[in-house]
Amino acid sequence: MTHGKQETASTAHRSKTGDAHPAKPTLNLRQLAEYLRLSQTTVSLVLNDSPAGRSIPQRTRDRVFEAARKFHYRPNYFARSLRNSRSMSVGVIVPDLSDGYFPVVMSAIEKRLLKAHYFYVTASHYRRPELVEEYSRRLMDRAVDGLLLLDTPAQIQVPAPTVAVSSHNPAPGVTNVILDHDLAARLALTHLMKLGHERIAFMQGAQGITDAKYRWKSIMSVARQMGIATVQDLCIQLEETRQTPEAGYLVMGGLLKRTREFTAVFCFNDISAIGAIRAITDAGLRVPEDISVVGFDDIITAAYCKPSLTTVKQPLQEMGLRAAQVLLDRIANSSQEWPEEIVMEPELVVRESTGPVRQHTLANQNGHAAEAGAKRGA
């Protein structure tokens, strides 16, 4: 019966295309191993990208992948999941996927999971604590092998390997992939000081964004260490947890209405910095001639806005890849102890939105300051 079906399919193909090419044969794991004259274990380790298979010579790995493509080999994930007591799936919990940060991290996570033949389910909680709890429970009910948390602050405790990115999750057993925020602050502020900026405005992230309070704490601490005044009147905060240029536009517009006695602004992220630049230009000022702007993240659009954005680059791709790899390793080696934190280093990317303080800007500032002092004295 099977042979008859193959003949019928071949005949149908020939009648439609005029070709008489037979369909390419497909092999199972045993047959593929026999064809390659390798053990089934070796072939399986290579195709599943197992950590134990990374010592296999690259030439052998290339042969295995070439044969798998040639014979359209597809692993039996159901059989493997039964054999390993795994579902071959993980859950990814995120606030949402609307801004420039999360898609970059997610693309790296997806790339690594797909390479390992893992399926994943993404759930967006929109920073609602009840949804964080509910989604983590639902994902565990679906027997995922582990969880990835992106900027998800709740202290999730689940009986499965968990890796958190920018979440600072204190739950026992969670591995946190975080940025060195002290170094990030020092890179940005050193750059501005070298350009002559002393009156710097600081934009804080909205409450509810986990990374925001850690970043702000580092910026304030490093500024004090460097002798940079953090004037309360020049400290502004985003009001919306949803990341949009409008949020940066609104708070920067409000600051400019109160005072213009600053020459630079260090924004919470690139999205808000893009909005801040628009607010500055709408107020009749120029970037960077009148006010320099520094962002944070280095999202894709940072290099293409006008002026292009100087920013503290988070290694977003690397953070996503590292988080996914650690999760896969934890799933494969559940008895091993894992670090609580993996700290990633930022770098400063200098573009067009920052420049040296102009003398006329300093003169205007001094004039505004003298006028304000006179009013207070009166």
| 74 SS3 class | coil
Closest Cα partner for 175 from 347, 331, 346?
A: 331
Write down the domain spans for the chain.
2-75, 86-178+317-344, 181-315+348-377
Please compute the mean of the pLDDT values over residues 283-311 and round it to a whole number: 97
181-315+348-377: in CATH 3.40.50.2300: yes
For residue 378, pLDDT beyond 50: no
Q: Indicate if 181-315+348-377 has the same CATH topology as 86-178+317-344.
A: yes
Per-residue pLDDT, 149: 94
pLDDT digits (tens, 9 = 90+) for 134-168: 998 888 888 899 999 999 876 777 788 999 999 98
Name the fold adopted by 2-75. 434 Repressor (Amino-terminal Domain) (1.10.260)
Cα 59 from Cα 259, distance rounded (Å):
65
Q: What is the DSSP string of 187-200?
A: HHHHHHHHTT--SE
Q: Return contacts of 335-338, CB within 8 angstroms, 24+ apart.
A: 338/173, 338/175
Instruction: Report pTM.
Output: 0.75
pLDDT-above-90 percentage for the chain:
56
Class of domain 86-178+317-344: alpha beta
pLDDT digits (tens, 9 = 90+) for 29-57: 888 889 999 888 788 778 777 666 778 89
Per-residue pLDDT, 306: 94
- Angle at which helix 181-194 crosses helix 210-225, to 10 degrees, equals 50
Cα 34 from Cα 101, distance rounded (Å):
46
Please compute the mean of the pLDDT values over residues 109-127 and round it to a whole number: 92
AA letter at 136: S
